[in-house]
A and B are shown apart, each in its own frame.
Chain A
Amino acid sequence: MNDTKYMNPYLAGFFLGLVLLATIYITGRGLGASGAVKSGVVAAVQSVAPSHTANTHFYQEYAEEHPGNPLKNWLVFEVIGVVIGAFISGLISNRLKFTLEHSAKIKRQTRIAGAIVGGLLFGFGAQLGRGCTSGAALSGMAVLSFGGIITMLAIFGGAYAFAYFLRKLWL
């Protein structure tokens, strides 16, 4: 196939909703992403500095809530699936390519720095907000969670509030 067009957004949204609904029906929980990053961080710190994780409050709380190996976590498996699914999609739509996408007006380094800083902020914020766009906003919306929906409003509201000042990064 040689088709690089994207799916109709409403159709894609409908499928996304069905995936989420099936997940809730089967497992009783929604989708997520940043939780897998958390598991990864905990596992990494644990293997590098086991005494540190044993004595630090955050890791102690995590171990209490998630006994066992931090990588043996539902979201870790789910995110591995995301990588596979996205790869298959990229393959059949002919979009597999190593590129660094950025606005023509900014340098590569600026884009890289922006991606790292943005990732850092998102990772941090997702811990504070107990979930990211997938786990808090989308899955929270599906079960009409108050917390999930205000997190969603804060994410998009915050993004709009800052967008004007950062327009040079994109436009």
Chain B
Amino acid sequence: MGPLVPEVIGNELNFVVALFVGIAFGFVLEQAGFSTSKKLVGLFYGYDFTVLRVFFTGGVTAIIGVVALNHFGLIDISLVYVNPTFLWSALVGGVIMGLGFVIGGYCPGTSVCAAAIGKIDAMYFVGGSFIGVLLFAEGYPLFEGLYKAANWGNIKIFEPLGMSQSLFAFLLVAMAVGAFWVVTMIETKVNGKPNPELNSKPLYVGLTAVALLIGLSAFAMPDRKEAFLAQANNASGESTVDVKIMTSDELAFRLIDNDQDLQLFDFRNQKDFNTLSLPKSVHYTLENIFEKDAHKFLTLKHAKNVFISDDEVLAEKAVSLAIKLGYRDIYVLRGGLNQFKSDILNFRMPEGAIARSEKDTYRFRSEACKIIPQLIEENRLKQSAGGEKKAKKRVLGGC
């Protein structure tokens, strides 16, 4: 499951990846003609829309690709860097960059590209950008207010617009294709003649159709998490899958036995988890099951995975979700932690006659109710001292 960094590809190797990514990026930009300011500013004067074509085709390809990777569970989208939104600095910074674009004729990436093939103007542009960053750094106290104002977090574009990811992705593809046709007409008008390289109409009608079809495919690939969570929440009550059950006694036995294969996933809320949590347990939410971390734990060989909630309902929901995501062999604690408490932790020897068949069970429980609280206490001390905290690390990206 992606991203491959840092587990599959280490942080050091990632620098090598960066180099190769850069080579591919630079190569494509140069081949597309982004190494000449004349072509770049053509966008703003209507005589050459190459930038728009390359930029939007690239953007749309990547969007559909990310939607597909997410839909098929090939990438943990919660680990992917989503540029944070600081409304005012984004707008003001953007307009300043726009002004720099028309005055300088490049943007930072393209200027590096152009400088690499010998464009002297681009070298001056790169020099200028160093000065610009230095000015920002030195004057930072003046701009810090604007820089940090209106922090909306890592939100996605379709959220404030109130539409689904699929609809937005489709609209964007449709918009891009529409823009391609319009700018081709503008280009023809401004230049007085059609672009000889782009005048094969049947080819472009075909490509338009293909692009729209790919755009439509976004509807067949809804956000996996949202769709599955909605299903899981609707299907409350009777569970459709037969779930494996672990009894309180078995769990207690495995805890006392210090079973190394036991992994407990606690779906209660964080507060209850902090108050009382079993050894070998981690706090989980339904969302966590979609993440790469879950993939790592739930696919471990020989592991006894047990989902726990107060009763069985939430844990069963979580198991059915996990089964949909392709995980197998997950147990639900019968009666949840409530029953575990009454069976084991708060065990009282029943009064009166005890059936012979239950005698061993009760003897076990009366022992377990002494040992397990100690284990819980030891675990609590260990946790607060060592801090085996499950910190989620989102990749740091951006410029």
Contact = CB atoms under 8 A, between A and B. Distances in A.
Nearest to B118: A98
Contacts of A99: 118-120
B221 interface: no
A138 B54 CA distance: 11
Contacts of B59: 17, 138, 141-142
Given A77-B22, A134-B109, A143-B82, A101 B32 contact: no
B146 interface: yes
Nearest to A148: B83
A40 to B, nearest CB: 7
A63 interface: no
A37 B63 contact: no
Given A57-B140, A166-B103, A10 B21 contact: no
A135 B19 contact: no
Interface in B178-199: 180, 197-198
A129 B97 contact: yes
Q: Is the interface of A mostly helix, strand, loop or mixed?
A: helix
Interface stretch (B154-162, B241-249, B300-308, B358-366): B154-162
Interface in B125-154: 125-138, 140-141, 143-144, 146-147, 152, 154
B22 A130 contact: no
Interface size grouping (class) on chain B = 35 or more
A19 B24 contact: yes
B277 interface: no
A82 B100 contact: no
Nearest to B47: A171
A84 B169 CA distance: 34
Given A25-B75, A28-B80, A38 B102 contact: no
A84 B16 CA distance: 13
A161 interface: yes
Interface string A1-27: 000001111101111111111111111
A120 B135 contact: yes
Interface string B9-22: 10000111111111
Given A74-B14, A162-B102, 13 more contacts: A7-B32, A7-B33, A13-B58, A14-B58, A45-B137, A85-B22, A86-B30, A86-B116, A89-B27, A101-B37, A123-B100, A142-B65, A154-B90
